[in-house]
């Protein structure tokens, strides 16, 4: 097979090195029996010895067409003739699509990748080879362009990519990620069919490929031929564009990571809070990516988040008033405070349990030690430690009832009290001060409970608004030697 401007063996060796198989190893090939996958399987099988590869194949009968049983039989015979180990299975995709309320194409994709992942893990394969090619790239980029994708979508199919954890049952069980490898991406469909004829390969024919009600088939049979009549090198042109956008997308991802790390944020159960000043200072391209990342942290994936949702979030930040909200997929909600945008659900907005004090109550607490609320429903534990004893992730703010202070910047006795008129604090990670009233509005603390929220105070300095925000006063820094851990728990909870 001729590849554009590069030797096939060198191309394949370079890709294998990228996925950790440069010195050989075990590789799973997805084998549908069509010309693309048959070509890929034959290429790899023929080169298995010099590449020191152990090749295995997997075929899934989707149960959509009656002829699919015969196709599975053909695949089995081919593998037997080659001596290629092959796993075969059948899934009832139409029933899966009906049960999950998705299209046949979406259900088939989920079933196929889920099966490939299971077979790969069963046989100790970290890499799955797929037969996507240059014409698939054209169809993918065009379809995503029609639907309105950004650079992340228009980069198209990548030659090396991680398998989406949502499609991998093993990912939920804590197994490591699997990698998808697409060696045929520079190769056109015509080249693949020529290869099959040259080596006497007899691929099976999938009749559903002629169904133009499927968007990809409509592109393949109607739109792409029309474009190619004016642009004969369409596949090469789109491939170059996807390659350029892929590199630019990687740069934007890197910049987004930097912006995310420097953004004022808090991660708590059920919600993520982002500082408005941090968001408003971002370029729109980075802002959109940060908003998508925040949503994914709470929702678990970006599957249901569309362009309109992100646009609504942008408008909320630019034009919304305090208390304004936007509904998001997955029963999530974004809410605007004075200084924060909160994206969350359930107890991210209204925690089921809060430690409370009586309005006007004051208590002196000496540390280290323990203080128990007169209500007998919660307690404060104060533990002294060296800075190098801080647990991993101590600064991410994920636990609303845990705080760390610089012990050498504290008096020996702290106060626990409720709010007083004019109370302000200097929020950790923010410039300037904020009134307690604004903080409670940002955090959506019910009005009736605001006079009951405990404050940890040193003299006139508010150090911690329990469950809401730590102050920058006495915060742990790189110069800190001794740390005071403050932990609040319901009284029936054991200290850990």
Q: What range defines the domain where residue 374 resides? A: 362-490
Q: Name, in order, each residue with C-beta under 8 angstroms of 419's C-beta and a sequence gap of 6 or more.
A: 436, 450, 451, 453, 455
- CATH number of the CATH domain containing 304: 3.30.465.60
Residues 121, 177 within the same domain: yes
Say if 252 falls within a structural domain: no
Position 54 in a domain: yes
How confident is the model over 186-223, as pLDDT tens digits? 999 999 999 999 999 999 877 677 777 777 888 888 99
Same domain, 205 and 276: no
Q: Quick one: pLDDT band at residue 1, thresholds 50, 70, 90?
A: low
Confidence of residue 486 (pLDDT cuts 50, 70, 90): very high
pTM over 0.75: no
CB 429 within 8 A of CB 275: yes
The tens digit of pLDDT for each residue in 242-295 reads: 999 999 999 999 999 999 999 988 877 678 889 999 999 999 999 999 999 999
Q: What is the pLDDT of residues 393-443, one digit of tens each?
A: 777 666 778 899 999 999 999 999 999 998 999 888 777 788 998 888 777
Say if residue 493's pLDDT is above 50: no
- Domain membership of residue 257 (yes or no) is no
Q: Give the Cα separation of 14 and 189 in Å (integer).
A: 22
175 and 300 in one domain?
no
How do residues 157-188 score in pLDDT, each as one tens digit? 999 999 988 788 776 566 778 999 999 999 99
Report whether 341 contacts 264 (CB < 8 A): no
Q: What is the number of alpha carbons within 13 Å of residue 147 lying toward its C-beta?
A: 16
pLDDT of residue 266: 81
Residue 496 located in a structural domain: no
Give the per-residue pLDDT at 491. 65
Between β-strands 424-425 and 369-372, what pairing exists: parallel, antiparallel or unpaired? unpaired
The top-scoring range by mean pLDDT among 112-116, 216-220, 266-270, 303-307 is 112-116
**Domain identity same for 367 and 228:** no
> How many domains is the chain partitioned into structurally?
3
pLDDT tens digits, 65-86:
777 777 889 999 999 999 999 9
- The answer on 177 and 280 residing in a single domain is no
SS3 content of the chain, % helix, strand, coil (to 5): 40, 20, 35
Q: How confident is the model at residue 495 (pLDDT cuts 50, 70, 90)?
A: very low
Q: Is residue 28 part of a domain?
A: yes
Q: Are residues 387 and 308 in the same domain?
A: no
Same domain, 318 and 415: no
Q: Give me the CATH number covering residue 434.
A: 3.50.40.10
Of the listed ranges 96-105, 287-296, 315-324, 335-344, the least confidently predicted one is 96-105
Asked whether the bond before 450 is cis by omega within 30 degrees of 0, the reply is: no
Question: 374 and 340 in one domain?
Answer: no
């Amino acid at each position: 097979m001729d590849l554009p401007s590069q030797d096939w063996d060198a191309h394949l060796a370079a890709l294998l090195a990228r996925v950790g198989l440069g010195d050989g190893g075990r590789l799973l090939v997805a084998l549908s029996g069509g010309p693309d996958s048959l070509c890929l399987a034959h290429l790899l099988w023929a080169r298995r010895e010099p590449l020191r590869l152990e090749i295995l194949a997997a075929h899934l009968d989707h149960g959509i067409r009656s002829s699919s049983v015969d196709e599975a039989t053909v695949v089995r015979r081919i593998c037997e003739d080659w001596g290629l180990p092959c796993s075969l299975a059948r899934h009832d995709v139409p029933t899966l699509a009906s049960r999950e309320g998705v299209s046949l194409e979406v259900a088939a994709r989920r079933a196929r990748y889920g099966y490939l992942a299971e077979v790969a893990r069963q046989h100790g394969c970290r890499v799955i080879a797929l037969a996507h090619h240059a014409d698939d790239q054209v169809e993918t980029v065009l379809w995503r362009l029609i639907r309105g994708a950004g650079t992340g979508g228009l980069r198209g199919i990548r030659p090396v990519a991680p398998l989406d954890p949502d499609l991998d049952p093993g990912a939920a069980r804590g197994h490591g990620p699997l990698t998808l490898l697409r060696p045929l991406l520079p190769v056109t469909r015509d080249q693949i069919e020529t290869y099959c004829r040259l080596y006497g390969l007899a691929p099976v024919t999938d009749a559903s490929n002629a169904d133009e009600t499927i968007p990809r088939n409509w592109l393949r049979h109607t739109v792409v031929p029309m474009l190619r009549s004016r642009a004969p090198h369409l596949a090469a042109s789109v491939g170059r564009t996807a390659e350029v956008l892929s590199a630019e997308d990687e740069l934007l991802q890197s910049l987004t990571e930097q912006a995310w790390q420097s953004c004022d944020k808090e991660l708590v159960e059920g919600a993520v809070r982002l500082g408005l000043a941090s968001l408003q200072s971002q370029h729109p391209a980075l802002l959109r990516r940060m908003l998508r990342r925040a949503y994914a942290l709470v929702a678990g994936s970006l599957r249901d988040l569309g362009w309109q949702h992100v646009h609504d979030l942008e408008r909320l930040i630019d034009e919304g008033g305090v208390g304004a909200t936007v509904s998001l997929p997955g029963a999530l909600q974004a809410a605007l405070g004075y200084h924060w945008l909160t994206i969350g659900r359930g107890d991210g907005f209204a925690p089921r349990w809060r430690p409370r004090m009586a309005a006007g109550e004051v208590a002196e607490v000496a540390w280290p030690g323990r203080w128990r609320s007169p209500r007998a429903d919660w307690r404060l534990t104060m533990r002294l430690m060296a800075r190098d004893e801080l647990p991993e992730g101590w600064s991410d703010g994920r636990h609303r009832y845990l705080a760390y202070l610089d012990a050498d910047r504290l008096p020996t006795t702290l106060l626990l009290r409720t709010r007083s008129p004019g109370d302000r604090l200097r929020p950790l990670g923010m410039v300037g001060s904020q009134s307690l009233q604004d903080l409670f509005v940002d955090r959506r603390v019910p009005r009736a409970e605001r006079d009951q929220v405990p404050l940890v105070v040193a003299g006139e300095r508010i150090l911690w608004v329990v469950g809401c925000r730590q102050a920058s006063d006495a915060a742990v820094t790189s110069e800190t030697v001794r740390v005071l851990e403050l932990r609040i728990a319901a009284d029936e909870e054991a200290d850990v």
